[in-house]
Structure 1
Amino acid sequence: MKLLNVLQCPKCKKLQLAPASACRHCGTGEIKETLIKGTGTLYSYTIIHVPPEGWEKEVPCTVGVITLAGGLNVTARFIGDAKETLSVGDPVDVRSENNELIFNNN
């Protein structure tokens, strides 16, 4: 199991992924880095067939929204054949590779 580096507000305890100098939920400036488990539940997904410019070689590409520990939702790219293996509610593993979040079935 991989760990993900996220930000947590010491005041409201909410998690966020994007770099920030303040909590996007309560505004406090004392945000801290923490590690959470890279396991979660597939909330939703889509298969992209028409890519944005520069991503033509990456289609079809499956992108999903995963709910991680603490209720943090992240968007990640699926590695594998989504049509064969994915269902909403599935447990998945999320990891960071080359500054990109990717996920697969666990």
Structure 2
Amino acid sequence: MSNRPEQLTYSEWAEAVRDGRLLGQECPDCGHVAGAPKGACAHCGSRDIETVELPSEGEIYSVTTIAVPPGQFEERGYQVALVQLGDARVMGRLDDQDVEIGDSVTLSGVIDVDDGHPAPVFSA
């Protein structure tokens, strides 16, 4: 029998996003924090990663505008960003078009991006 912590599943992560919470995983071996479910630590490979609640406020790490969206999306000119939330980075949509790297943002909602798959939405 394993003493490993329960692994965070995509379904649990998605349900938390819909509830306005962000979950990640922290590796007790190396301290790496991931902003989405993984089977093992991306830095050291440990499978003993633990589910943690991530902050809802962070800073824009990287941002880009999607000028030509994938086929299932009609909206043009929307922004997505990597947001630094504590020690983790999370990809999400942005409500505000006037944000830059380094700007502070807060989790403000959720959008279903593809057949019920949620994505966090951040606002400045």
Q: TM-score range by the shorter chain?
A: 0.7 to 0.9
Describe the shift of the 1:96–1:20 C-alpha distance in structure 2 as closer, same or farther (beyond 3 A). Answer: farther
TM-score (norm 1): 0.80
TM-fit CA distance, 1:95: 5.4
Offset from partner CA, 1:9-50 (integer Å, 9 cap, x none)? 111111112322211111111111011211111122122121
The separation in 2 between residues aligned to 1:28 and 1:58, in whole angstroms, is: 40
2:91 matched to 1:75?
Answer: yes
1:88 to 93, 96, 101: 101
Distance 2:82 2:37 in 1: 19
Mapped to 1, the partners of 2:77 and 2:61 lie a distance apart of 20
Following superposition, the deviation at residue 66 of structure 1 comes to 1.3
Unaligned runs of 5+ in 1: none
| 1:87 aligned partner, one-letter code | E
- 2:79 maps to amino acid: T
Q: 1:19 to 1:95 in 2, by over 3 A?
A: farther
* TM-score, length of structure 2 as denominator length: 0.70
- Distance in 2, matches of 1:29 and 1:64, equals 28
How many matched pairs? 99
Q: 2:78 aligned with 1:61, yes or no?
A: yes
Q: What is the alpha-carbon distance in structure 2 between the residues aligned to residue 68 and residue 53 of structure 1?
A: 30
Give the counterpart of 2:121 among 90, 102, 105.
102
Give the Cα separation in 2 of the matches to 1:95 and 1:30: 31
Greater strand share, structure number: 1
Please give the secondary structure, in 1, of the residue aligned with 2:47: coil
Percent identity, aligned pairs only?
29
Q: CA RMSD in A?
A: 1.8
Structure 1 segments, 4+ long, off by >2 Å, are: 94-99
